[in-house]
């Protein structure tokens, strides 16, 4: 049975204390986990399609849409015509790190963990967040741009076409293998249904202000406060 360790900090299948030194890698989702927005929804605002895109995003995150790749293609198609200048505006004016994000990343790095950012979002944003937080590895999707304008398509990458839930899982395992560690020495944090595959193979899964299905399956759920509340589980 889940138990509330402290207000808004629920333990489903985890007994403190947390010893970060037992882990070697922490993987974060980006949108609504490390940062405060769903970037695709905010980009769509420029095209006057935010409500339409946000409804698809919400259904995908709840797990009501089983084909994440198709749902993302639908949303990206609706971004056609949006300029790179508008995406810059989203980054500069709307995007913020979630509370405790920088603190948790720094604490993990101080404990010797490598950090992975793996997102169903876009490199335009993940590249900036990676640099801002000093993240070691990142994987996300590439929006096709022609003459400073989105085409409504994504660009295939050497590892595949779209970073969906299965690709998040595969990436976590791939990085673990590269580091020479078992998946049991990894932590995965996310909020949506497409995070469940990587959370399912990690040694410690953490839901952050997550959808009900994700909260129910995570070992730890942070339902109030910042990401760094995970550190409250340390001795």
Catalytic residue among 13, 19, 31, 228: 31
CB distance 82 to 46 below 8 Å:
yes
DSSP code string of 70-107? HHHHHHHHTTTT-BHHHHHHHHHHT--BPTTHHHHHHH
Determine the distance from the C-alpha atom of residue 18 to the mean position of all C-alpha atoms in its chain, rounded to a whole number: 22
Q: Is 31 a catalytic residue?
A: yes
Q: Is 29 a catalytic residue?
A: yes
Catalytic residue among 13, 29, 147, 161: 29
- C-alpha angle with apex 171: 76 to 139, nearest 5 degrees? 45
Distances (CA, A) of 232 to 6, 50, 82, 228, 229: 9, 37, 42, 8, 5
Label each residue of 156-193 as H, E or C: CECCECCCCHHHHHHHHHHHHHHHCCCHHHEEEEECCH
List, by residue number, the catalytic residues. Answer: 29, 31
């Amino acid at each position: 049975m889940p138990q509330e360790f402290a207000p808004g900090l629920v333990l489903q299948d985890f007994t403190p204390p947390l010893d970060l030194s037992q882990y070697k890698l922490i993987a974060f989702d980006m949108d609504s986990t490390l940062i405060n927005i769903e970037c695709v929804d905010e980009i769509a605002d420029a095209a006057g399609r935010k409500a339409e895109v946000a409804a698809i995003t919400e259904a995908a995150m709840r797990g009501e849409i089983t084909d994440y790749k198709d749902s993302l293609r639908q949303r990206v198609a609706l971004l056609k015509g949006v300029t790179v200048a508008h995406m810059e505006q989203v980054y500069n004016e709307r995007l913020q790190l979630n509370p405790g994000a920088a603190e948790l990343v720094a604490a993990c790095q101080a404990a010797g963990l490598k950090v992975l950012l793996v997102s169903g979002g876009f490199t335009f944003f993940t590249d900036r967040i990676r640099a801002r937080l000093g993240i070691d590895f990142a994987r996300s999707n590439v929006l096709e741009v022609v003459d400073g304008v989105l085409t409504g398509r994504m660009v295939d990458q050497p590892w595949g076409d779209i970073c969906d839930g299965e690709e998040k899982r595969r990436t976590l395992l791939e990085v673990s293998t590269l580091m020479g560690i078992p998946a049991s020495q990894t932590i995965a944090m996310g909020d949506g249904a497409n995070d469940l595959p990587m959370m399912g193979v990690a040694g410690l899964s953490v839901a952050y202000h997550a959808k009900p299905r994700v909260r129910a399956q995570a070992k730890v759920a942070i339902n109030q406060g910042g990401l760094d509340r995970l550190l409250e589980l340390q001795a």
